[in-house]
Structure formats: structure tokens, C-alpha cells
Amino acid sequence: MTATDTTEAPPGVPPDRARRAGRPPALRRDGRYASVFLAPSLGGLALFTLFPTAMALGISLFDWPVFGERKFLGIENYTQLLSDPVFRRVVLNTTLFVVLYVPLNVVVSLGLATWLGPKIKGRQAFRVLFFIPVMTPMVANVMVWRLLFQPGGLLDSGLQSWFGINAPNFLGSSDWAMPAIVAMSIWQGFGYNFLVFSAALDQVPQSQLESAQIDGAGPFQRFRYVTWPMITPSLFFATTMTLITSFQVFAQPFILTQGGPGVSTQTIVMYVYNQGWQFLSMGLASAAGWVLFVIIMGITAIQFVGQRKWVNYDV
Amino acid sequence: MSETSATARRFRSGVSHVLLILVAILFLGPLVYAVSTSLKPADEVFTPTPELFGSEIRWQNYADAFTFAPFGRYFLNSLFVAVVGTLVVVVASSMSAYAFARLKFRGREQLFVLFLGTLMVPQEVLIVPMYWLMQSLGWVDSYWALILPWAFTAFGTFLLRQFFLTVPAELEEAARVDGCGPFGSFLRIMLPLARPAIAVLTVFTFISFWGSFLWPLIIVNSVEAKGTVPLGLAQFIGQQGTQWNLMMAASVLAMVPTVLLVVLLQKHLVRGLLVTGLGGR
């Protein structure tokens, strides 16, 4: 499919008739150029995104080993997923991560962005600082935190020598592993929303805040009635993006705990990886990937429906 | 305004600054710890009390990291994949962005919606069929597979289209009157004007290739030959007697290029974030 077929006058039709049909010559010429300009992106997206997306649905309906014979199963992979206690646990773990991570991330990033208002000196330096872990390779960040959480690592030795208490085995205990993963993730990720919120807060006119102050509004009231309505679009955007990406959590549990202890920190993406590349069952992996896709689409849809109630685009 | 309230305000602002600096130090802690560990002798990584420095500053660790594991190779692989990948992304997206912003053709709006729709598909849905596709093409364990599948994303098209739309049409019309075709005005007028936007796209793309982990983990079999930096780092997990000081040296080195980019291009990055609201994959 090319975008241009239909914009060309049929061969043999004189230009003046095409013009009479309501199409200026520039448009016809543009169409031909457009196909050239669009070809690389369109070809790449078709081959590497559109086709695989459809293909994923197909594969999920098969018993599809990496090597060997494929067999059509219908929805059996999906029913198997639903009855698999590991998969159910994995969905639960991922949800727990999201429920802990997203609100904490928003509170920390919005809190710091509000704190670092225009009156703070050196705010540009703070912005750069908090943004560094967002951009450094996730695996390198996680490595550092793995050492930090290690028995004998900084947290352990710090707690012992400064407070005289033994640190829990953060990564080896089923009570502590998930909070440890969440803590690490917030450290590495909040800088992004922090920047988004900082930029949004900069748009709030100081004059309005000052006149509210003269009218006797305290800091909380100023935030609630002046600032909040003006930043809801950013809040909506940031929470939606953070929700989507946090359902895709992988590198943190993969490197910090390998999903353990047991399967207590295994996530959906880890399950996809394990099914596909440890157990070589591509059909099941693809089905799990589609389940994740559907969850993400559902959450995004709910966000978009819910935004009418609290997001304010009129200010 | 009375004298006391001015003093109180100055005091509060002072406390606020001190607290902020404490928060920043806490935030920097893990990074300082990484650098500190990377300079310690191996048997001083785990000490009963936290210490910033070991008995000696071992710069040698950084050299040793490269002999302990083929990190030189990993860095070259990552650099190659990130540079070529970024180049493909920038060329393909600037071309399609130009078409969407400036050329008139039937079905343009529908096609653009289709482009944006592809942004919704998460990588996890694509990896299984993508692996199969790579197998069919014979690209498993190749640079092709590391680069091409993620080099055509609608994100860049979207970002650059926004910028092209802000360029006044008169500029291009003047060029066309002077005999410049779409290719001429794309190359000579639009691209140079879009330099800041292209810089933003370049940085985001480079960083997302540089840090990418899941896909290399899947598609690379011969880690020693085709491994990227994140993959090389992850290789150490689960191995007995991890050399934490060397590991931290390698991790710190893996962070250097991106930290430099963030510091050098901070202004562009903030603006890019605002325009696009996206930060890589």
C-alpha cells in the first residue's frame, strides 16, 4: 500500500481535467514525492511493527516451539495462562509493583518539583542531577543497587555501624524484595516526571499566586485552587505514561532478584521472557505478551475516560 | 514588611536550601558508592563500616575490568549499534515528518493516525514475532537484528513533524519559486532549521539504544562477540565470586556517555521533553 496511488490522475487524463476535478497540480506532484519521503518509515513500520503485532496474535494461538512442529491450539494458551498459578502470581506481583510505584513516583516528583520553585537558587543543577539516572543504562543503575542491597553492602553496614541494627536481607526476603525493587525504581525513574512537573509549574503565573496570597490563601489553598487546576494536564500525561511503563517492568527484578525469592518478584515481562527463551514456548510467551498489551490498553482507556472528571484543559 | 518577617523568611529559605542539599546528597549516594567501590581493592568492597576510600585508590580496576571481561568489545558493539541505529532513525523520521508536515497527499491524516497508533504497541508484544522474523531472515545474533527492528518508530516522525509545522510556509515557497524542489527545500531549508529538534531526537534515540537490555538479551547468543554493554554487565549476575569493584568500574563507565550528554545538552533536553512529552523507550 502506498499513500500516493489515489492522488495521481489516471494515465492519459490531461492535466487540465485533473485540475477541473478539483486537484491543483502541486498536489499531484506532492503525492509522488510523498511516497519517496515516506517509503523508509512506512516500510520499516510495516515490517517491524504492524506485521509483528498481528503475527503475535497468530503465534499466541499455536503451540509454537522454537524448533519443531507447530500445532494450532485456538485459545488454549490463554486458558492455560489463566489456570497457571505462576502466571496469576506474576500478574499480582506486577500489579503490586504498579500500585506501589506509580503513586510514590508522582508524590516524590511532584513534591520535589513544587519545593524547587523559582525562588530556589541552583534549580537547574538539581534538575540535571535528578535526571541523570533516567538516562543512564538501567542495567548499570540496577547493578549499583544490587551491591547496595547486598548483605555487607552500604545499607547493611550503614545500619549496623550507625544504628547497631542488622539490616534485613533485602533481596533474599519475600517481605523486602518487592519494596527494595520499588525503592530502586523510584530512585532511577522519578527524575523524568520531576522535569515534566517542573516545566508545568513554571507556567503557573506568579501574579495569580501572589494575588491569592494577598487574599489570604495559605500555601495549601494556593496549591489546591491556583496551581492544581493548571497542572492537571501534565499530571494526567505523567500518570498515564508512568502507568504504561511500570506494567512493563523487567530489568529491575531480573537483575536484583531474578524474580525471587521463589516467584515473589517475577513480573509479566519476565514471564514472557522465561516462557519464550527458557522454556522455548513461543505460543505461551506471545499469549502472555498479548495479555500485557490488553491490560495496558485497558488502563489507558480508563485513564482517558476518567480524565474528564479531573483534568482541566480550559485554563 | 517588618524586619522580623524578612529575617524569618530568609531563615526559612536557608533551611529549605540546606534540606534540598541533603536530599541531593542522599540521591547521589548510590552513584558515589559506585565510584567509591570501583576504586577499592577487591577485598575491601565489603567492610563492617561504610568507608569512602579503601587502603588505596585503585585506578587499575578500570583497566582490569577490560581484561576481566571483554568490555572493550561490548563498548564498541554498543557504540556501533547506537550510532548506526540513531542515524537510521533520524534519516527515516525526518523524511516522513517532512511528508506529513509539508506535502499534500490523499490519505495523509489517516496514515498519520496509523503511525501514532503504532506507538501504543509495547515492545513485549513484538519480541516473540520479532524473534521469529529474525530467525526467518537469518539475522539472529547479528548487528542487523540489534539495530533495524527498533530503528523505525513513529516517535521521531511525530517529534520532527511538530517542528516542521512551526517553520513558516513562506520560507519554503520562496525556495520553490527559486527552483528548489521538495528534496532541495527539505535538505537546504527544513533540516538546518530543525537542528535543535534533531539534536533532541538524536540524544533520546542514542540513549535508548545504549541502554537497551531485553532485546539484546534475547537476540544475542555469542555475548563475547556481539554483546552490548548492558548485556555484558548482566553477565556477571549469578556468577560465583562477583568482582564487585571491577563490576562497578564497568557500570560507571557505562554511565559516562549518557551523563555527559545530559549535562551538555540539558537545555535542549528539557525543551525536547516539553515538546514531545516522551523520553525514549
ipTM: 0.90
Asked whether residue B134 falls in the same domain as residue B267, the answer is yes
Tell whether A45 is covered by a domain: no
Contact A222, A212 (CB under 8 A): yes
Question: Which residue in chain A is spatially nearest to B276 when comparing CA positions?
Answer: A196
A188-205 mean pLDDT: 90
Query: Which phi and psi angles does B151 have, rounded to 5°?
Result: -95, 0
Interface of A with B in 209-248 (CB under 8 A): 237, 241, 244, 248
Interface of A with B in 26-85 (CB under 8 A): 26-27, 30-31, 33-35, 37-38, 40-45, 47-53, 55-56, 59
Please give the pLDDT value at position B278: 46
Asked whether residue B109 falls in the same domain as residue B196, the answer is yes
Please give the pLDDT value at position B3: 57
Q: Would you call B179 exposed, middle or buried from its count of C-beta atoms within 10 A (0-12, 13-18, 19+)?
A: exposed
Tell whether B223 is covered by a domain: yes
Q: Residues of A with CB below 8 A from B247's CB?
A: 143, 147
Tell whether A13 is covered by a domain: no
Q: Residues of B with CB below 8 A from A4's CB?
A: 105-106
CB contact (8 A) between residue A41 and residue B115: yes
pLDDT at A210 over 50: yes
Q: Hey, what's the cell of B124?
A: 513485549
Asked whether residue B194 falls in the same domain as residue B116, the answer is yes
pLDDT at A29 over 90: no
Tell whether A249 is covered by a domain: yes
CB contact (8 A) between residue B122 and residue A296: yes
Of A242-251, A256-265, B176-185, B202-211, the poorest mean pLDDT is in: B176-185
Residue at grid coordinates 522455548: A280
Please give the pLDDT value at position A180: 97
Q: Average pLDDT, whole number, for chain B? A: 88
B199-218 mean pLDDT: 92
Q: Residues of B with CB below 8 A from A286's CB?
A: 125, 128-129
Question: Which residue in chain B is spatially nearest to A281 when comparing CA positions?
Answer: B128
Tell whether A38 is covered by a domain: no
Closest CB to A128: pick one of B153, B238, B263: B263
pLDDT classification of B170: cutoffs 50, 70, 90: confident
Count of C-beta atoms within a 10 Å radius of residue B121: 17
pLDDT classification of B280: cutoffs 50, 70, 90: very low
pLDDT digits (tens, 9 = 90+) for B35-93: 999 999 988 888 888 888 888 899 999 999 898 889 999 999 999 999 999 999 999 99
Query: Which phi and psi angles does A72 have, rounded to 5°?
Result: -70, 130
Asked whether residue B254 falls in the same domain as residue B176, the answer is yes
pLDDT at B1 over 50: no
Interface of A with B in 187-216 (CB under 8 A): 187, 192, 195-196, 199
pLDDT at B120 over 60: yes
pLDDT classification of A26: cutoffs 50, 70, 90: low
Chain-centroid distance, C-alpha A47? 24
Residue A115 lies in domain: 71-308
Q: What percent of chain B has pLDDT above 70?
A: 93
Asked whether residue B6 falls in the same domain as residue B26, the answer is yes
Asked whether residue B132 falls in the same domain as residue B252, the answer is yes
pLDDT digits (tens, 9 = 90+) for B216-250: 999 999 999 999 999 999 987 766 567 899 999 99
Q: Comparing B118 with B237, which gets the higher pLDDT?
A: B118
The alpha carbon dihedral of A223, A226, A230, A236 has a sign of positive
Tell whether B187 is covered by a domain: yes
Asked whether residue B166 falls in the same domain as residue B238, the answer is yes
Residue B247 lies in domain: 69-278
Q: Average pLDDT, whole number, for chain A? A: 88
Q: Residues of A with CB below 8 A from B230's CB?
A: 137-140, 251
Q: What is the CATH number of the domain that holds A192?
A: 1.10.3720.10
Q: Residues of A with CB below 8 A from B268's CB?
A: none
Question: Which residue in chain B is spatially nearest to A45 when comparing CA positions?
Answer: B152
Please give the pLDDT value at position B237: 73
- Which pTM was predicted? 0.89
Tell whether B62 is covered by a domain: no
Tell whether A300 is covered by a domain: yes
Asked whether residue B129 falls in the same domain as residue B160, the answer is yes
CB contact (8 A) between residue B105 and residue A3: yes
Question: Which residue in chain B is spatially nearest to A195 when comparing CA positions?
Answer: B270
Give how many domains chain A has, as a whole number.
1
Tell whether B153 is covered by a domain: yes
Give how many domains chain B has, as a whole number.
2
Q: What percent of chain B has pLDDT above 90?
A: 53
Closest CB to B148: pick one of A48, A119, A258: A48
pLDDT classification of A121: cutoffs 50, 70, 90: confident
Among residues B37, B57, B77, the one where a domain terminates is: B57
Most A-contacting residue of B16, B106, B124, B160 (CB-CB within 10 A), to test interface: B124
CB contact (8 A) between residue B152 and residue A45: yes
Closest CB to A145: pick one of B30, B118, B274: B30
Please give the pLDDT value at position B215: 96
Tell whether A157 is covered by a domain: yes
pLDDT at A242 over 90: yes
Of A1-15, A91-105, A232-246, B169-183, the poorest mean pLDDT is in: A1-15
Q: Comparing B2 with A145, which gets the higher pLDDT?
A: A145
pLDDT classification of A2: cutoffs 50, 70, 90: very low
CB–CB contacts below 8 A, A to B: 281
B157 half-sphere exposure, CB direction, 13 A CA radius:
29
Question: Which residue in chain A is spatially nearest to B21 when comparing CA positions?
Answer: A126
Please give the pLDDT value at position B185: 87
CB contact A113 to B (< 8 Å)? no
Asked whether residue B50 falls in the same domain as residue B105, the answer is no
Asked whether residue B141 falls in the same domain as residue B219, the answer is yes
Q: What is the CATH number of the domain that holds B171?
A: 1.10.3720.10
Chain-centroid distance, C-alpha A288? 18
Asked whether residue B119 falls in the same domain as residue B231, the answer is yes
pLDDT at A9 over 50: no
Q: Hey, what's the cell of A215?
A: 487574599
Of A101-115, B65-79, B138-152, B171-185, the poorest mean pLDDT is in: B171-185
Tell whether A134 is covered by a domain: yes
Q: How far is B96 from chain A (nearest CA, A)?
A: 5
Asked whether residue B8 falls in the same domain as residue B120, the answer is no
Tell whether B64 is covered by a domain: no
pLDDT at B5 over 80: no
Q: How far is A182 from chain B (nearest CA, A)?
A: 15
Closest CB to B248: pick one of A6, A128, A147: A147
CB contact (8 A) between residue A44 and residue B262: no
Tell whether B63 is covered by a domain: no
Q: How far is A256 from chain B (nearest CA, A)?
A: 9
Please enumerate in sequence order all residues whose Cβ is within 8 A of that of B37, keeping only pairs 6 or more positions apart, or say none.
A147, B45, B244, B245, B248
Question: Which residue in chain B is spatially nearest to A184 when comparing CA positions?
Answer: B30
Closest CB to B99: pick one of A38, A139, A195: A38
Q: Residues of A with CB below 8 A from B233's CB?
A: 137, 139-140, 143
pLDDT classification of B261: cutoffs 50, 70, 90: confident
Tell whether A28 is covered by a domain: no
CB contact (8 A) between residue B91 and residue A134: no
Q: How far is B119 from chain A (nearest CA, A)?
A: 9
